[in-house]
Structure 1
Amino acid sequence: MTAWAQSLIRISNYEVETLQKRLADINERRAAAEMKLAVLDAEAEGERERARIDADAGLMLSAYLNGWKNRKAAAQGDVTALAAEEEGAREALTGAFEELKKFEHVAEATRLDRLVALAKRETAAFDEQALRRRAV
């Protein structure tokens, strides 16, 4: 394999690895955002239960729920943004992987072409030797 092909493959592998790490990071952040949503829902359910039991808590429930709706909307916005970022990262990773495969294919084709050329030269050399032996 030629040096240029090795360099291109190495660079492409690095890009694929970098994008895989980025995607893993996005997935972690998305899981944390989804967990935050679940915790917010559980907290709201706890406050509703407390309001059923305690009249004073019931009076403050609507104010709590207004704030909860705002926090939930923000958390849902984070999840939506992370989903879009994840989609973009997946597309970039797919593109980088396709580029890597193209470089690997070109490198392999170049290697095979060299082998064929070498075999042709060897065959020609053997044919020339055989002709010389016959001529003698």
Structure 2
Amino acid sequence: MTAWAQSLIRISNYEVETLQKRLAEITARRASAEMRIAVLEAEAEIEQERARSDADAAMLLQAYLSGWKMRKGAAEADVVVINAEEEGARDALTGAFEELKKFEHVAETTRLNSIIAAGKRETAAFDELGLRRRAG
């Protein structure tokens, strides 16, 4: 394989690895944001249950739920943004993989063409040698 092909493949591999790390980080952030929503929902259920048995908690429940809705809405908005970011990262990773495969294909084709050309040169040399022996 030629030096330029090795360099292109090495650069492409680095880009793929970088994008894989980025995607893993985004996926972890999405899981964390989804966990935050689940925790908020569990907290709301606990507060609603407490309000059923405690008059003071019942009086404060509406204020709590109002704040809870804002926190949950913010968390859900975070998930939407992270999902879009994740989709973009997946698209970028797919593109990087495609580029890597193209470079690998070109390098392999170049290698095979080199082998074929060497074979043709060898055959031509043997043909010439045979003609000289016949003539001489």
Find the counterpart in structure 2 of residue 75 from structure 1: 75
Separation in structure 1 between the aligned mates of residue 54 and residue 126 of structure 2, nearest angstrom: 101
1:86 aligns with 2:102: no
Letter of the structure 1 residue corresponding to residue 82 of structure 2: L
Q: Please, what is the CA RMSD of the aligned residues?
A: 0.5
Q: Tell me which stretches of 4 or more aligned residues in structure 1 moved more than 4 Å.
A: none
> Which deviations, in whole Å up to 9, do the C-alpha atoms of 1:46-87 show, x marking residues without a partner?
000000010110000000000000000000011110000000
Find the counterpart in structure 2 of residue 129 from structure 1: 129
1:110 aligns with 2:89: no
State the Cα distance separating 1:133 from its structure 2 match: 1.2
Percent identical pairs in the alignment equals 75
Separation in structure 2 between the aligned mates of residue 134 and residue 54 of structure 1, nearest angstrom: 113
Separation in structure 2 between the aligned mates of residue 121 and residue 7 of structure 1, nearest angstrom: 28
State the Cα distance separating 1:135 from its structure 2 match: 1.2
Letter of the structure 2 residue corresponding to residue 121 of structure 1: R
Structure 1 unaligned runs (5+)?
A: none
Count of aligned positions: 136
Given the two structures, how large is their TM-score scaled by the length of structure 2? 0.99
Find the counterpart in structure 2 of residue 18 from structure 1: 18
Find the counterpart in structure 1 of residue 35 from structure 2: 35
Find the counterpart in structure 1 of residue 45 from structure 2: 45
Given the two structures, how large is their TM-score scaled by the length of structure 1? 0.99
